[in-house]
Amino acid sequence: MRRVVSLIVLLASICSISLANINPAWAANLANGAAVFSANCAACHMGGKNVVNAAKTLQKEDLQKYDMYDIDKIKYQIIHGKAAMPAFGGRLTAEQIEDVAAYVLAQADKGWK
């Protein structure tokens, strides 16, 4: 019985160490997202606004209202574009798209401050 308990404790320790060391490269890089946003999005979306359609901003409330408060939906729109927004799928890498989408959500959560 003691051996079983020791084995369980050992396995739990290994699992907790593995989870604590999740590869940070998997996480979005918000600094890179900010740079990509500045270079590609800020002309129309400076400060979370929308110069083409003032009702559809990148503010959290508007993203929620238009069912866009979701990283996958934001990535889809970045890749494919919509209405006056051009598609960036051929111009940005998957990593840049992930980073800028995460940046948009992070900024929306902070009220673009």
For residue 89, the domain's CATH number is 1.10.760.10
What domain range includes position 60? Answer: 29-109
* pLDDT tens-digit readout, 74-112: 999 999 999 999 999 999 999 999 999 999 999 999 999
| Residue 10 domain-assigned (yes or no) | no
Q: How many domains does the chain have?
A: 1
- Does residue 35 carry a pLDDT above 90? yes
Task: Tell me how far CA of residue 89 lies from CA of 28, 77, 95, in angstroms.
Answer: 17, 9, 11
What is residue 24's predicted lDDT score, i.e. its pLDDT?
Answer: 46
* pLDDT tens-digit readout, 36-59: 999 999 999 999 999 999 999 999
Task: Tell me how far CA of residue 67 lies from CA of 20, 52, 55, in angstroms.
Answer: 33, 19, 14
| Residue 59 domain-assigned (yes or no) | yes
- Does residue 25 carry a pLDDT above 50? no
What is residue 5's predicted lDDT score, i.e. its pLDDT?
Answer: 56
What is the pTM assigned to this prediction?
A: 0.76
DSSP-assigned letters across all residues of the chain = -HHHHHHHHHHHHHHHHHHHT--GGGS--HHHHHHHHHHHTHHHHGGG--SS-TTS-SSHHHHHHTT--SHHHHHHHHHH-BTTBPP-TTTS-HHHHHHHHHHHHHHHHTTT-
